[in-house]
Amino acid sequence: MEKLGVALVGAGFMGRRHLLGYAALRRAGYERIDVAAIVDLDAGTANARADEAEELLGTRPRVYTDLGAMLAMDGNVGAVDIVTDPRTHHTIAVDAIRAGRDVICEKPLALTVRTGAQMVTEAERAGRVLATAENYRRGGSNRLARAVIDSGVLGDLFLFREVRIGGDDGVILSPWRHMKRSGSIGLDMPIHYADIVEYLLGPVELVWGRGFIAEPVRHPADGGEPIAPDGEDSLVAAMTTTSGVDVHLAYIPSGRGIGYGERVLHGRNGSLQIPPDRSDGDIVLHLADGTRRGQEVAAFLGDRFQLDPVTAAVLGPDGTGGKGAPWGDVDAGHLAVELADFADAVLDGRPPEVDGAGGLRALAVVHAAFESGLLGRAVHVDEVLTGAVHAYQDDIDAQFETEVEA
């Protein structure tokens, strides 16, 4: 069987999660991809992850602390899986593409549309696959929701609401996720939801919104020194898709005692409630003839809904991981599906489900909200994609130019 050798570039928090995704594929019998190498600036971190890979996958990947050396020396690596912090996504991807490798890159594809577009252009010029690692859409509930929409049973669609509100003043994952120039959580998380909107409803055309800092001081879980974020931790926006659906998006990880979330679609003939991502909640379809939940919805659709074999193998017949499944296993299953899709795209000569252009669009949708907040007007996503509107991103791009000069 033809296999794709991959170098995992970045061996930290997300690197470990991706490694568990590869392990989930191995357990499910999918053998078209191998972790051939691990690259990290920290040799100790890289070796620790290589040891874990040997335990999970049966073979120990080669370890590198220099990306250029790996690209120049390792002929068994046909692709790279980028799981570093977003500041380095575009430079790593461009170097890998120019060295003849295909690329899958964690979201956000890049920090700015300008640097993301560079990645897309390089991949197109070289004829290489560039995939964006978007995992939320891979779950069974979102797949089933898409099938409901495609079936037309909801009739004309009016409104989609994506709301995630509630939290505290703790650091979310890591301090750098609260800084604008390293990819704030207000960019990182809404990109997931922008991708879900476009997956379910098609391209977003117009955005009116803003980003803001809800918690001016964040406290690390270990009791260390508090940080003062300069990057948005929250975003609210009203959007319109090219298909004419209005979208309300709110992501605010703040508000003591409040925990509220929904993903709801309203149409002329009924409504659809979609459970949180990577959860065992049931999708709920409300129509005039009654309410259907979970597998009742799948049965109602019949042949109009079918999971692909890899998703069914790693996440079970309903694609959720099963009732009560450990969150880590469910997360690994979602990542496994996107990694298998990437390998199949490379080996079979087809586009990945979420290519570089798809990742760039999700990035542009979120930046359109930030740009709208600065301009005080609605912003067309195309204005952001073409670079006609860019003020919010200018200091980030200037940072990259300074680094190149240095």
In the beta sheet, which residues pair with residue 235? Answer: 211, 251
Instruction: Return d(Cα 179, Cα 96) in angstroms, integer.
Output: 27
pTM, 2 dp: 0.96
Q: What value does the mean pLDDT take over residues 349-377?
A: 98
Q: What value does the mean pLDDT take over residues 211-219?
A: 98
Q: Would you place residue 403 in the very low, low, confident or very high pLDDT band (cuts 50, 70, 90)?
A: low
Domain with CATH 3.30.360.10 in the chain: 138-320+354-406
In the beta sheet, which residues pair with residue 142? Answer: none
pLDDT tens per residue across span 24-82: 999 999 999 999 999 999 999 999 999 999 999 999 999 999 999 999 999 999 999 99
What is the pLDDT at residue 405?
A: 45
What is the pLDDT at residue 137?
A: 98
State the average pLDDT for the chain.
96
**Which is nearest to 23 in space by CA: 312, 314, 277?**
314
DSSP 396: H
Which tokens is 339 given? 């990694």
Q: What value does the mean pLDDT take over residues 382-393?
A: 98
DSSP 243: T
Domain with CATH 3.40.50.720 in the chain: 4-136
Q: What percent of the chain has pLDDT over 90?
A: 97
Give the three-state DSSP class for 156. coil
Instruction: Return d(Cα 128, Cα 405) in angstroms, integer.
Output: 28
Q: What's the helix, strand, coil split of the chain in %, to 5?
A: 45, 20, 35
What is the pLDDT at residue 258?
A: 86
pLDDT tens per residue across span 102-144: 999 999 999 999 999 999 999 999 999 999 999 999 999 999 9
Q: Name the residue with tokens 């061996």.
A: 11
Phi, psi for 231 (deg, rounded to 5): -110, 150
Q: Would you place residue 401 in the very low, low, confident or very high pLDDT band (cuts 50, 70, 90)?
A: confident
pLDDT tens per residue across span 232-279: 999 999 999 999 999 999 999 999 998 999 999 999 999 999 999 999
| Torsion sign over Cα 87, 193, 258, 326 | negative
What is the pLDDT at residue 136?
A: 98
What is the pLDDT at residue 406?
A: 41
pLDDT tens per residue across span 307-355: 999 999 999 999 999 999 999 999 999 999 999 999 999 999 999 999 9
Instruction: Return d(Cα 24, Cα 333) in angstroms, integer.
Output: 6
Superfamily in which the 138-320+354-406 domain is placed by CATH: Dihydrodipicolinate Reductase; domain 2 (3.30.360.10)
Superfamily in which the 4-136 domain is placed by CATH: NAD(P)-binding Rossmann-like Domain (3.40.50.720)
Q: Please name the residue ranges forming H helices in 202-255.
A: none
What is the pLDDT at residue 402?
A: 67
| Torsion sign over Cα 325, 251, 400, 130 | positive
